[in-house]
Amino acid sequence: MSYVGPDFDPPQPRRSRRGPLTVALAALVPTALVGWLVYTAVGDSGDGGGGADKAAPAPTSHSTSAPPSAAPSSASPSDDGKKPSPSPTVSTSRPAASGPLKGKVVVIDPGHNAGNFQHAADINRKVNIGTNWKECDTTGTSTNAGYTEAQFTLDVARRLRTILQEQGATVKFTQDGDRPWGPCVDERARIGNNAHADAVVSIHADGSAAGNHGFHVILPASVHAGAADTRPIVAPSRDLGERIAGNFVRDTGSAPSNYIGDGTGLVVRRDLGGLNLSTVPKVFIECGNMRDSKDAALLTSGAWRQKAAHGISEGIVSFLHG
Ligand code: ZN
Angle 294-298-306 from CA coordinates, rounded to 5°: 165
315 neighbors 246 (Cβ within 8 angstroms):
yes
Q: Tell me the CA distances in angstroms from 236 to 62, 219, 247, 316, 319, one per residue in order.
A: 32, 10, 17, 12, 9
Positive or negative, the Cα torsion across 40, 59, 161, 67? negative
User: How far, in Å, from the CA of 138 to the mean position of ligand 1?
Assistant: 8
ω into 88 cis (within 30 of 0): no
CA distance 262 to 5: 24
Residue 145 DSSP code: T
List residues bridging with 202 in a β-sheet: 109, 284
| The predicted structure's pLDDT at residue 94 | 53
Burial class (CB in 10 A: 0-12, 13-18, 19+), 252: buried
| The predicted structure's pLDDT at residue 97 | 56
The helix/strand/coil state of 55 is coil
**Is 242 one of the annotated active-site residues of the chain?**
no
149, 187, 242, 286: the catalytic one is 286
| The predicted structure's pLDDT at residue 95 | 53
User: How far, in Å, from the CA of 135 to the mean position of ligand 1?
Assistant: 13
Residue 202: enclosing H or E segment and its boundaries? strand 199-206
User: How far, in Å, from the CA of 306 to the mean position of ligand 1?
Assistant: 19
32 neighbors 265 (Cβ within 8 angstroms):
yes
Strand-strand pairing, 126-128 and 133-135: antiparallel
| The predicted structure's pLDDT at residue 16 | 42
User: How far, in Å, from the CA of 153 to the mean position of ligand 1?
Assistant: 8
Residues in the chain: 322
Which of 3.40.50.300, 3.30.1340.30, 3.40.50.2020, 3.40.630.40 would CATH assign to domain 91-321?
A: 3.40.630.40
Q: pLDDT tens digit string along 97-139?
A: 588 999 999 999 999 999 999 999 999 999 999 999 999 999 9
CA distance 63 to 121: 48
User: How far, in Å, from the CA of 119 to the mean position of ligand 1?
Assistant: 16
| The predicted structure's pLDDT at residue 49 | 32
User: How far, in Å, from the CA of 100 to the mean position of ligand 1?
Assistant: 30
| The predicted structure's pLDDT at residue 22 | 39
Q: What is the CA radius of gyration of the chain?
A: 18
Residue intervals of the chain classified under CATH 3.40.630.40 are 91-321
User: How far, in Å, from the CA of 273 to the mean position of ligand 1?
Assistant: 13
| The predicted structure's pLDDT at residue 53 | 31
| The predicted structure's pLDDT at residue 9 | 40
Q: Tell me the CA distances in angstroms from 278 to 10, 75, 138, one per residue in order.
A: 21, 31, 19
**pTM, entire model:** 0.74
| The predicted structure's pLDDT at residue 322 | 72
Please state the three-class secondary structure of 209-275 as a single string.
CCCCCCEEEEEECCCEECCEECHHHHHHHHHHHHHHHHHHHHHHCCCECCCCCCCCCEEEECCCHHH
Residue ranges of the chain with per-residue pLDDT less than 70: 1-97
Q: Tell me the CA distances in angstroms from 207 to 12, 107, 281, 289, 305, one per residue in order.
A: 14, 24, 25, 6, 17
User: How far, in Å, from the CA of 96 to the mean position of ligand 1?
Assistant: 30
| The predicted structure's pLDDT at residue 98 | 81
Q: pLDDT tens digit string along 146-192?
A: 999 999 999 999 999 999 999 999 999 999 999 999 999 999 999 99
CA distance 233 to 22: 18
